[in-house]
Chains A and B, each alone.
Chain A
Amino acid sequence: MKVLKLIIKNTWRHKLRTLLTILGIAIAVMAFGMLRTIITAWYAGVEASAANRIITHHRVSIIFQLPLTYREQIQHIPGVAGVSFANWFSGIYKDVNDWRNFFPRIAIENDAYFDLFPEIIISQEDRAAFAKERNGCIVGEKIAREHGFKTGDIIPLEGDIYPGHWEFVVRGFYKGRDATVDETVMFFHWKYLDEQVRQSQPGREVNVGWYVMRIQNPNDIPRISGTIDEMYLNSRASTKTETEKEFQQSFVSMSSAILTSINVISFVIIGIILLVLANTIVMAVRERTREYAVLKTLGFSKNHLIQLIGGESMVIALAGGVLGLVFTFPVAGGFAKAFPTFFPVFNVEPITITMAFGAAVVAGIAAATFPASRILRMKIVDGLRTLE
């Protein structure tokens, strides 16, 4: 590109203006990247879902429980390779107003529950220790790091769904097979929950929040789901069976208004990038109208002028885009650190990088379009008459 030198020199002609524009684009790209990362984080559970797991919960709402007896019937359905169940415990850990103290606490049937989740990695020792301890618990490494939990520590909780003071002994830790696995959950024995509730609230039954099934052949999922839901259609606790992905998606859809807003804002930011850049390029080209007329006079073609104006726009857009992406990683890291449990999986995904970079490129092209077309249409004699 023979005009590259002129592109670079033109870009730095007004250093402060160029720097401010690059910085403006960088901040906008970073904001875009952060918002897209938040959206991705929101869908992390959906994306991490296994294709061979299904969930059965109460047809009306997950807050209604299912009878324990369903377990036996479900596990005999042909194609079901494994079944277990869990309950949402909730509870309050320390100061309820501090987001860091919120992490999911789930009562699980027993340690065999983990066999259904190969993405949850636990050492044999920890799993054995957990199995032995009635009020033992397994916690994710992320939440353990955040709160400094060590083996043998007691985690005190104040119950809300299940009132009372609860104490759980840390007996082990799990980590995710990859970055998409939530490492902020605390698992403990359902049996312990059942015993404690029977003692403290005689007459109250603890049943099952949801059943998890591993299916041998994912092609059988529609048939098995249909079979389960038909079995309990006219029972006192009719069921809804869905894939793990659909189950996770149902939680995400509860926040659809927020997600739509974030989505809209992220695209408004692209508009801001475009305006910031377009303003600079329009000003720069207007100031140099006479120079472009001179270049046309010397024989520079339309392609050369497009390269000059588009090139300057792209240099600024790409510099801002790259700088914005460089900013995005530490900011996202800081955000993830500040709110470790709010978004258990908070990674800047390649698609986010591609979109942010793409937004800068699109802005670069769009910002140059109007001033370039004006210069291309301009008559040389009119351009030469322009005052500098």
Chain B
Amino acid sequence: MVALAIAEQELPAAAGASLDVEAVSHAFDIDGAVLPVLDNVSFSVKASEFVALLGPSGCGKSTLLRLVAGLEPPRAGILREDGDPIAGPFPSRVVVFQDPTLLPWRTVWHNVALGPEAQGILKQQRHRVDAAIDLVGLSTFRNAYPHQLSGGMAQRVALARALVNDPRILILDEPLGKLDSLTRITMQAEIAALWQRSGFTTLLVTHDVEEAVFLANRVIVFSDRPARIKADIAVDRPYPRHRGDPKLVELRHEILGLLGLDATW
């Protein structure tokens, strides 16, 4: 409990950054053919907002996240973090991928320490690494190797590895997509609590409509590829939320309708 209290004091520091996506289009070259994936997408995310991006599988949401992370430049348009154009990856924007992608040769501790080590500030930040591991409840596993962890634990490590960098924008690319439903429900609540406490801006790509309305302030619904924005829906409910909240259930129905899946309701 003491460790957790220290973690709460030390981890949240930088407030969230705002994000502007301005007329962004992107395409891939596949065997000489051009495959458009994003078509003139524009939206803004306010500082410390939690925005979920929802859309059919393969529509280009994950590509959008790669652009926000700076892993690739867009073919057209511009992305801005707090007004400054995004030119490449930077630890203020950290991604948690669908696979935990922990480095298998590093222990839990050294995986979480990856960011500070890469930035050459590990010596000053060792206590932050400890705090981040405590925060996700894995302090007894700090010396374990990734192959010894369950899927949920590995994803928690990935979350700690992101949080230790004090991100201003946390980018979640279906981070719970491969977990079993019980672990997913637990981790959804944990993510909501973390976000509320730390105040970073969060972008969440998900296939799960319930997850989107349960977590986000806003849900942006995309069309089939190439992705266009179909709807931008505010989820104006206080936290902590309840899955059975009639307003959330209603929103879920509305969004499923937008995705053409309301017949299953």
A and B are partners in one complex rather than unrelated chains: no
The residues of B with any CB-CB pair to A shorter than 8 Å are none
